Structure formats: C-alpha cells, structure tokens
C-alpha cells in the first residue's frame, strides 16, 4: 500500500438503470496536486466524484483514503474524512450572512451567563475573516448572501469546506458561471490552496483551465478512463481529441454577415420583476435578418428577463417591442410564436419541457394544435406526432432510451437541450431567441449547435443569442451588446471588440 496517494479509487463500477456510468475506473491522486477530471457530459466525471463524496455508493470497486480502505456512505462521513465538494449549484441560505452560512451545522457556541448556549457570531466572523485572508479569498463574512454576486457565493462554498478542515477539495465545473476575470481569480485561489498543501480535484470540460492550473489530468469517455496525462507535456488539442474520441475543430466556419431588413426592434423597453424592481432598464436595439446579435453579461443582470419579455413570458412595463414592423408588446405568447418567434429559454426543465410527457409530445409542444398534428374538432393524430418525432430525433441526434416514447425526465440534460433546440429551430421563425443554447453540452454537441445557429443566420433568420459563455459569444456573434445591471450600454460589431474588453463591460468597469 503506497503512502504517496492520498486517494485511490480502484476498479470502480457504478450502474444506473440502463446505463453504466463508471466502468472499471481506477484513479490515484497524490497529496498536494491539482488533479483534473476531463470528459464530455455524461462521461461519468460527476458520478465518480459523487461516490467519493458519499452521495452514491459504488456497485463494485474500492476506495482508499490516505491508504485506508473506506466505505463512504454519506457526505457527512466524507466530511469527516476531510473531503469537501463545491457543487455546480450552490447550497446556500440566501437571507443569511456569509458567516452564518459557513458555520451552519457546527456553530461556535458560547454560554450567556454561563448557562444559555448561543452562537458566538463574533468568533465565527473572526475565524472566517482569517481563513479568507489566508487563501486570498477576499470575502466579508458579515454580508448577506443575496446581496453578493455568484463569484463570491462560490468562494463562500470554498470557505465552507475550509472551515470544515477539508484537505481534499472537489470542484464540480466551478467556472461555468463566471466571467473571464472571475475565472482568473478563482484559478489563482485554487493555486493558493494547492500551495498550502490541499489536494484539489477539478471536474471540468474546459481545456484552457486544465492547461492553466492542473498538474495531471484523467480523461473519461463513456464511463471509462481513456488516459491519464501530465498536463505540462500535453497540448489542448490532444486532450480534446482524446475526450471526444475524434478530431475537433475549435473555430466555427462563418461566412461574412449580410444584414437584411430589421426583424426585431426593441424600443426603450423596461421590464419590472415581481418586487416592482426594474430589471431591464430602457433598453433599445435592433436585430436584422442574417444577423446574430449576442447579449453578453454576467448572470443575473437582466438578460433572462429581457428574453422573457420579448417572448411574452414577462410583461413589458414601458417601451415597445416590434416584430417585422408590427407592435407585439402586449400580444399573447401563442400569437407571438405564430408571428415568428422561437425561444430557447434559460431554464429548460422548468419552462422548456414538459418533463412527464414523452419526447414526441415535447417535440410538438408548440404545434400540437395545428395541422397535421391535430385535425378537425381538435382530435390529435398520434401517427403525425410519431413521424415528426422520428424526423427530429434523427436530424438533431437526440439520444434516448425508448425513442419517441421516452419520458423526457429520464433523458440526460444534454439530450433534453438538443430536443428543445431541434423543436425551436424547426419552427422556422423569423426571430430565434437562444438563451444559453449550449449550456451543459459537450464539445461535440456545442460545435453542432453553433453550426446550426450559423446556418439559420445564413438562411436569413434574425438571431438573438444570450449567453454567459464569452467563448460562445465571441465565436458566433456579428453584433455584441453588453448588458450590465439591466441596461445595454455598449453595442458594437463583434470584430471591433476583444474578449477582455467585453469582459470589462460585463463587470461595469468601462462605461460607454
């Protein structure tokens, strides 16, 4: 039993009904290294780490921590073994302060009058401030969670682990929600952590990050380890090819844009949320035929509400929305769809899909009431649903267990997304609103969807692309608008902006 590995997972196999998520996977992690797990969506990275964190138990295989064989039956036990995990979705109480969130479950207690136990919040604040300084996290423990941005929330999650004395830190896709500047900052934190002796496991599908921070990298494909590489000696290209299992091209072929007439004309639009707060402020822009207009912005700056308002899911408080010269500001959603709006919403499970419906019903979710799906008297024709479903499954490479009759809930996130993308493109609307169209997809699928978006643009569709991924925006956009705090202050042709400039506008650093 070699002592140099802090974690060893040997011959791990984990099955879920109908799928083998991990197939005889063995990894060995040294103390004090940054170990990356690279793989496409559904390759089994998260499953493997969930087992290390005690959320599942492996069907076969053994786990050794610090040379001792362990059965990690729960996250609590994993915490006892000094293993911590930062999840993709943060688990924080939003109306508590940062310190309160961190100490929850292991509060420092003092006794008032030597009798009544109370939480010693002063000590907690002090401890956390010290921890934060030690690793360069720059967090103020007295702030309330709902008042701080995503990047800080993530750092709170990191502090939560450090407070619990974690030595092995698992990061699950930590950069998905961050701006380039914030990513830099996070990667620096990760390096700091390693330098002070922590062991880091980084789950990601972003090659750049691995190249920047990781020491070693295990590549997973379809539940199996393909290779374990020393990052310094390997090119990103090689890693990408191993991960996808074939040659990948990073740039998208894009012929020069030829703009036609205006399709979408948003004039001084303001949108209020339920708390009567202006989330979109006096926004104006146009999208033309043959144009990809991309809106860049940090999550939560009003871009979702902007899209919802144009699609009719949120009300416009003031201003106008024109589609092909017609005022649609107060039109019902179905009329807008019929007038020519496709919409891929940000939240695919809550809005984009009926999870308990079959795949074919979901593919016809916006056209079920029309010919050919529905005849006179509103009687549906299952044959037409089937035919249409088959067609889209083939064209958009939607993979599912039981074909058209699969319950969408049981499909993987990536395939759910493909189903929505297929359905919306197939509507052949003049205006297509894509919000985060490739979120959670793997490289191969992203490439495909970008190609499809550009093909639609070449056909003369107007495309409004809203994304948190700057790469995506830089790759696809003809025009870029940057939204910050509900306002679009910067609109410029894509070729006149660099990625860093866009990033600065997104942070509100530059104005005008």
Partner 1 sequence: MKKICVKLLGNDRTQFIAIPIFSILLSLIVGMIIIAGLGKYPLTAYMNLLQGSGLMPKPAYSAYQGMLTDFMSFLNMLTPMMFAALSVAVAQKAGLFNIGVSGQMLAAGFVATVTVGYSEMTAVIAKPLVILIGIVVGMLVGALVGFLKYRFNINEVVSTIMINYIVQYLTSFFINTRYIDEISRQSRAVSRASRLTLMQVTVGELKVDIPLCIILAVIIAVLMKFLLDRTSLGFEIKAVGSNRNAARYAGISVGKTMVVSMMISGALAGLAGVTYYMGYLESIQPKVLTDTGFDAIAVALLGNNNPIGVIFSSFLITGVTKGSSYMSAASGIETEIASVITGLILLFSACSAFIRYEVKKWKTELEEAERRNADVKNNH
| Site residues for partner 1 per CB under 8 A | 15, 17-18, 311, 313, 332-334, 336-337, 343, 345, 350-357, 361, 365-366, 368-369, 374, 377-380, 382
Dist CA 299 CA 176 (whole Å): 11
Q: Which is nearer to partner 1, 334 or 451 (CB)?
A: 334
Q: Which is nearer to partner 1, 257 or 427 (CB)?
A: 427
| Alpha-carbon torsion angle 36, 39, 43, 46, nearest 10 | 40
For residue 223, the SS3 value is coil
Nearest-approach distance from CB 357 to partner 1, in angstroms? 7
Contact 147, 205 (CB under 8 A): no
Q: Which is nearer to partner 1, 308 or 478 (CB)?
A: 308
Nearest-approach distance from CB 456 to partner 1, in angstroms? 20
Nearest-approach distance from CB 376 to partner 1, in angstroms? 11
Contact 470, 266 (CB under 8 A): no
**DSSP secondary-structure letter at 78?**
H
Q: Which is nearer to partner 1, 117 or 332 (CB)?
A: 332
Nearest-approach distance from CB 224 to partner 1, in angstroms? 17
Nearest-approach distance from CB 369 to partner 1, in angstroms? 4
What are the DSSP calls for 140-158, one per residue? Answer: -TTSBGGGS-HHHHHHHHH
Dist CA 27 CA 7 (whole Å): 8
Q: Which is nearer to partner 1, 406 or 438 (CB)?
A: 406
Dist CA 450 CA 35 (whole Å): 30
Instruction: With CA atoms as reference, report the closest residue to 399 among 455, 351, 448.
Output: 448
Strands 5-16 and 19-30 turn out to be: antiparallel
Nearest-approach distance from CB 7 to partner 1, in angstroms? 27
Q: Angle, to 10 degrees, between the axis of helix 443-458 and the axis of helix 413-426?
A: 10
Nearest-approach distance from CB 143 to partner 1, in angstroms? 31
Q: Which is nearer to partner 1, 258 or 335 (CB)?
A: 335
How many residues are recorded in the chain? 512
Q: Which is nearer to partner 1, 272 or 381 (CB)?
A: 381
Residue with tokens 């958009």: 396
Nearest-approach distance from CB 13 to partner 1, in angstroms? 10
Q: Which is nearer to partner 1, 118 or 402 (CB)?
A: 402
Residues 105-120 as b/e (b if ≥16 CB within 10 A, e otherwise) read eebeeeeeeeeeeeeb
Contact 160, 84 (CB under 8 A): yes
């Amino acid at each position: 039993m070699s002592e140099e590995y802090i974690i060893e997972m040997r011959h791990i196999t984990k099955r879920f009904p109908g799928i083998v998520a991990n197939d005889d996977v063995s990894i060995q992690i040294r103390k004090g290294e940054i170990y990356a797990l690279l793989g496409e969506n559904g390759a089994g990275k998260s499953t493997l780490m969930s087992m290390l964190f005690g959320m599942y138990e492996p069907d076969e295989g053994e786990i050794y921590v610090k040379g001792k064989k362990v059965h990690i039956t729960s996250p609590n036990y994993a915490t006892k073994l000094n293993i911590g995990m930062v999840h993709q979705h943060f688990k924080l109480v939003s109306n508590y302060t940062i310190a309160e969130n961190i100490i929850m479950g292991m509060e420092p207690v003092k006794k008032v009058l030597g009798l009544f136990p109370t939480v010693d919040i002063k000590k907690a604040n002090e401890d956390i401030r010290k921890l934060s300084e030690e690793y360069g996290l720059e967090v103020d423990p007295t702030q309330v969670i709902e008042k701080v941005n995503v990047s800080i929330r993530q750092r709170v999650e990191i502090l939560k682990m450090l407070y619990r004395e974690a030595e092995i830190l698992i990061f699950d896709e930590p950069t998905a929600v961050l701006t380039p500047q914030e990513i830099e900052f996070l990667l620096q934190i990760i390096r700091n952590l390693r330098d002070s002796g922590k062991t880091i496991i980084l789950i990601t599908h972003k090659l750049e990050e691995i190249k920047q921070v990781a020491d070693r990298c295990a590549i997973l494909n379809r539940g199996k380890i393909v290779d374990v590489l020393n990052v310094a000696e390997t090119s990103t290209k090689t890693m990408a090819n191993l991960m996808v299992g074939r040659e990948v091209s990073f740039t998208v072929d894009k012929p020069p844009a030829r703009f036609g007439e205006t399709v979408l004309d948003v004039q001084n639009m303001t949108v209020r949320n339920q708390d009567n707060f202006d989330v979109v402020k006096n926004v104006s822009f146009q999208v033309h035929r043959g144009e990809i207009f991309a809106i860049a912005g940090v999550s939560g700056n009003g871009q979702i509400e902007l899209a919802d308002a144009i699609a009719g899911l949120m009300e416009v408080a003031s201003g106008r929305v024109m589609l092909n010269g017609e005022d649609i500001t107060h039109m019902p959603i179905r009329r807008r769809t019929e007038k020519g709006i496709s919409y891929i919403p940000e939240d695919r499970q809550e809005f984009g899909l009926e999870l308990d419906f079959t795949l074919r019903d979901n593919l016809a979710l916006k056209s079920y009431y029309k010919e050919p799906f529905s005849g006179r008297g509103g009687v549906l024709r299952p044959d037409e649903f089937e035919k249409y479903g088959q067609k889209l499954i083939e064209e958009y490479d939607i993979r599912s267990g039981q074909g058209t009759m699969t319950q969408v809930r049981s499909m993987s996130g990536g395939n759910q997304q493909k189903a929505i993308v297929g359905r919306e493109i197939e509507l052949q609307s003049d205006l297509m609103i894509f919000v985060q169209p490739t979120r959670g997809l793997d490289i191969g699928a992203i490439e495909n969807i970008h190609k499809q978006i550009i093909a639609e643009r070449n056909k003369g569709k107007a495309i409004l692309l809203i994304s948190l991924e700057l790469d995506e925006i830089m790759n696809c956009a003809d025009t870029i608008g940057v939204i910050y705090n509900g306002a679009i202050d910067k609109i410029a042709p894509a070729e006149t902006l660099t990625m860093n400039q866009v990033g600065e506008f997104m942070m509100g650093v530059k104005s005008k």
